[in-house]
Amino acid sequence: MGYSSYRVWDQLGRPDVINPFLLPQPLLLFLIQILLNWLWTPIFFGMKHITFALLEIVVLYGAVVVTTLKFFELDQVSGLLLLPYVAWLTLATCLTAAIWKANPCWRFGTSNKTK
């Protein structure tokens, strides 16, 4: 992911990355998906809110696919370098969905089962 984004940053003429609002679209998409990636862990493990985690990872998946396509348009190697990430995210999304399906009592953060 790092080398892929570096290649795109270089391809775009090495724009200033200090102000995220001025980033070119492919790098802004990359930043958004990185933030979404970071958010999943505290939602799933911290809040234990499986429904929110599933919704978040689906949005993350879409952001990563769009980012990969934009990177591929600029630099084919950069797009190809993100394919293992897409594969991993496919697995992680399926696992999250399976956990959601198998644990209806935990879908909204805490178990509704009485002990």
Which tens digits make up the pLDDT trace of 3-20? 999 999 999 999 998 988
* Residue 2: band (very low, low, confident or very high) from pLDDT cuts 50, 70, 90: very high
Reduced to 3 states (helix: H, G, I; strand: E, B; else coil), residue 46 is helix
Residue 68 CB coordination number (10 Å) = 22
SS3 115: coil
pLDDT at 114: 46
Written as six digits, the tokens of 63 are 């952001």
Mean predicted confidence (pLDDT) in 82-99: 98
Q: What are phi and psi of 40, to 5 degrees?
A: -60, -45
Q: Which segments of 1-115 does DSSP mark as H helices, in order?
A: 2-11, 25-41, 50-74, 76-81, 83-102
Model confidence pLDDT, tens digit, residues 77-90: 999 999 999 999 99
Please tell me which residue, 114 or 16, carries the higher pLDDT value.
16
Question: Does residue 106 register a pLDDT over 90?
Answer: no
